[in-house]
Amino acid sequence: MFSKTKPIGCPLTNKRRLDDVDDKILSYLSRDARISNRRIAAELNITEGTVRSRIKRMLDEGLMRITAVTNIDKLKNPCLAFIWIDVDHSGDCERIAQQLSDIPEMGFVAKMLGRFDILAITLVQDPEQLTGFLHTNISTIKGIRRTETSLGVNFVKHDYRVSHIVD
């Protein structure tokens, strides 16, 4: 899988903008990260060396990363658990978010503006597994005032490439 690493709504720390060729390369990689540089080059009518150097530059500059992800469509009973968290003191938000992100099963952690301080997302098989996960992993973190959870059980659309940035 491919993803751009710029968080949505956050300014780029690296001022380089992706050009049209970069975007086209990323488009191919987002559909199949195993596609060969040679095939991308042939499709875009550029050299394989150009594809290779652009991918290397984007990786080196942290503009993208290539990784494997679980296809949740193939799991028996996948449920995305959304865990909305209120913290006791705003000064603890960074520490708590970091502790949550250190939990291997946690797939997403973000500090939020609005009703809750933190949103954490993990994948579970059923409500009982979520309950055990909350008691074992979340309730043990000092400074959490309360949590509210919801389960996503029927996926209408699931696109791994949710980090595609709209210009």
| pTM across the whole model | 0.64
- Which CATH number does 72-152 carry? 3.30.70.920
Region 83-110: what's the mean pLDDT?
A: 94
pLDDT digits 0-9 by tens, 23-69: 999 999 988 889 999 999 999 999 999 999 999 999 999 888 887 77
As a whole number, mean pLDDT of residues 131-138 equals 93
Distance of CA 2 to the CA centre of its chain: 10
- Kindly provide the b/e burial profile for residues 1-17, where b requires at least 16 CB atoms within 10 angstroms of the residue's own CB: bbbbebeeeeeeeeeee
Domain regions of the chain by residue span: 2-66, 72-152
| Confidence at residue 40, expressed as pLDDT on a 0 to 100 scale | 96
Helices (H), 45-125: 48-60, 93-101
The CATH code that applies to domain 2-66 is 1.10.10.10
Average pLDDT, stretch 122-143? 91
